[in-house]
Amino acid sequence: MRVTITVNGSAETVDDVWEGESLLYALRERMGLPGSKNACEQGECGSCTVYLDGVPVCSCLVAVGQAQGRDVRTVEGLTEGPPGDAGEARLDPVQQAFVDAGAVQCGFCTPGLIVASHDLVERNPEPSDAEIREALAGNLCRCTGYEKILDAVRLAAARKRTAGGKAVRS
Amino acid sequence: MTGTGEEMEFMRPATWADALAAKAEHPGALPIQGGTDVMVEINFDVRRPEALLDLNRVAELTEWDTSGGRLRVGAGVPYARLIRELGDRLPGLAQAARTVGSPQIRNRGSVGGNLGAASPAGDSHPPLLAGDAVVEAESAARGVRMIPAAEFYLGVKRSALEPDELIRAFWSAPASGPQYFSKIGTRNAMVIAVCSFALALHPEERRVGTGVGSAAPTPRRAPAAEAFASAELDWEGRGPLPDAASRRFGELVADAAAPIDDVRGTAGYRRHALAVMARRTLAWAWNDHRAATPERRAS
């Protein structure tokens, strides 16, 4: 089966995909986008979270054929534009907040948490702690580094508010 | 999960008519909407259907409207939208929807998928039963068939749906009184119900509706408990609910269950928890009803 998906803004076509294959598998193994992580394969851990037509979903639970003709944005697609002069990635403010808050331990859950957090601060620039916890309830960190993760989301939201929305690209 | 090359067809009908035709031609095809149940089974090699029937392109499945004062909700409306757009009219179902999985799961999962899977632990079922919902099924050969929720569940993961039928929508009257859903789990997110309970007051009919989840081979109502509470409540004077009555209601709900011991809990625990949830939800609903300013009646 051939499937064409718009991934991070560009059309990607993959051939000979197995009909039962997940979007996650296609992203990681066929399109060279290993940012979305494969852990539980049952929607429990959130490590494979991507945007599908602007809505965060577990890519392990989307059949790749269901993504035909649709728009997918992965954690790789959150970086802002091309690398800087020193070759450094221009991180999205949520990604930068995770770095600055030290919200990364082993890093495995980080991409999923960043996409889920990105969606939260887009929708709600002033989330309460309860709202942050609710928004991230589907993302597991087995290093249990949740406090720093909450710090990172608060930081990202605060910076977004300070920027007044003008300097921060969605 | 790897591409094993095992034979499986992937069908992507663009219209409802095409979807019905495909299901008629391939009765063994497994419908997939949000994928939150189906893909777990495929990822873990629990199931290899001869074909997947992707319903994502059938736009009307993700729409809802009202007809004759009742809501007709497309089978594929995701829980997140159901909560946002219909939470005021279907509060019991919206409460249940909020307990489904995680935000990512609620963005994809739907009542139609819950019905199709027909797991006794599905969170939608108790409020559908308590609210007298009706399932709209359709086949190319025989057209539309309306199946009351109470007649839909036949056994563990078995429903009244025929192999050539697809679920088009569910119908429900907007809530005419308070509704509550209560669920026991080990966490506040990402849990399959140990057991659950839904209650709906139908004040105009002076009737109480119930739904028991994850405590019998199928979701089911608790008819004796419904009859008891409907007769016991002071609909006229909106008097307080006597403790003895709410306790008796709880016992009758627990009696309606036929739970088993399994990894999530024991039968005894489930019966106990059901009695507690039933007692509490009846008190919450009745107190809401009493607090609500009675509409000035024309008569």
For chain B, domain boundaries: 9-54, 59-172, 179-289
Model pLDDT for residues B91-146, shown as the tens digit of each residue = 999 999 999 999 999 999 999 999 999 999 999 999 999 999 999 999 999 999 99
Overall domain count for chain A: 2
A98 with A72, same domain?
Answer: no
Confidence of residue A86 (pLDDT cuts 50, 70, 90): confident
Residue A126: per-residue pLDDT: 96
Mean pLDDT of B30-52: 96
Q: Which residues of A touch B102 (CB under 8 A)?
A: 43, 46, 137-139
Residue B183: per-residue pLDDT: 97
pLDDT of B6 above 80: no
pLDDT of A168 above 50: no
Residue B277: per-residue pLDDT: 98
* SS3 assignment, position B220: strand
Does residue A13 belong to any structural domain of this protein?
A: yes
Query: Nearest CA to A110 among A161, A160, A39?
Result: A39
**Residue B258 CB: number of other CB atoms within 10 A?**
14
Task: Look up the ipTM and state it.
Answer: 0.93
d(CA B179, nearest CA chain A) in Å: 23
Work out whether the CA dihedral B188, B190, B194, B196 comes out positive or negative: positive
CB under 8 Å to A129, separation ≥6 — which residues? A150, A154
CA dihedral (B118, B6, A5, A120) in degrees, to 10, reads: 40
Q: Which residues of B touch A135 (CB under 8 A)?
A: 103
CB under 8 Å to B79, separation ≥6 — which residues? B97, B98, B100, B105, B106, B107, B109, B110, B111
CB contact under 8 Å between B40 and A42, yes or no, is yes
Query: Nearest CA to A73 among A92, A100, A99, A88?
Result: A92
Mean pLDDT of A124-133: 96
Domain B9-54 CATH (choose: 1.10.1040.10, 3.30.9.10, 3.40.50.300, 3.30.43.10)? 3.30.43.10
Q: Which residues of A touch B42 (CB under 8 A)?
A: 20, 63
> Of A47, A77, A107, which residue sits at a domain end?
A77
> Which residue numbers of A have CB closer than 8 Å to B's CBs?
1, 16-22, 25, 41-44, 46, 49, 55-58, 60-63, 65-66, 68, 116, 119, 134-135, 137-139
CB contact under 8 Å between A43 and B102, yes or no, is yes
Scanning every residue of chain B, which has its alpha carbon at the shortest distance from the alpha carbon of A57?
Answer: B104
Residue B294: per-residue pLDDT: 65
Scanning every residue of chain B, which has its alpha carbon at the shortest distance from the alpha carbon of A117?
Answer: B103
Residue A8: per-residue pLDDT: 97
CB contact under 8 Å between B32 and A138, yes or no, is no
Scanning every residue of chain B, which has its alpha carbon at the shortest distance from the alpha carbon of A51?
Answer: B104
**Residue B10 CB: number of other CB atoms within 10 A?**
22
Q: Are B175 and B92 in contact (CB under 8 A)?
A: yes
Name the helix (H) or strand (E) containing A132: helix A129-135
Mean pLDDT of A75-89: 81
pLDDT of A87 above 80: no
Mean pLDDT of A112-140: 97
Residue B133: per-residue pLDDT: 98
B9-54 and B179-289 agree in CATH topology: no
Q: Which CATH class is domain B179-289?
A: alpha beta
Per DSSP, the residues of B13-58 read: -SSHHHHHHHHHH-TTPEEESS-TTHHHHHHTTS---SEEEE-TT-
d(CA A35, nearest CA chain B) in Å: 17
Work out whether the CA dihedral B267, B147, B69, B143 comes out positive or negative: positive
Instruction: Tell whether domain B59-172 is in CATH 3.30.420.10.
Output: no
Mean pLDDT of B225-230: 98
The parent domain of residue A20 ranges over 3-77
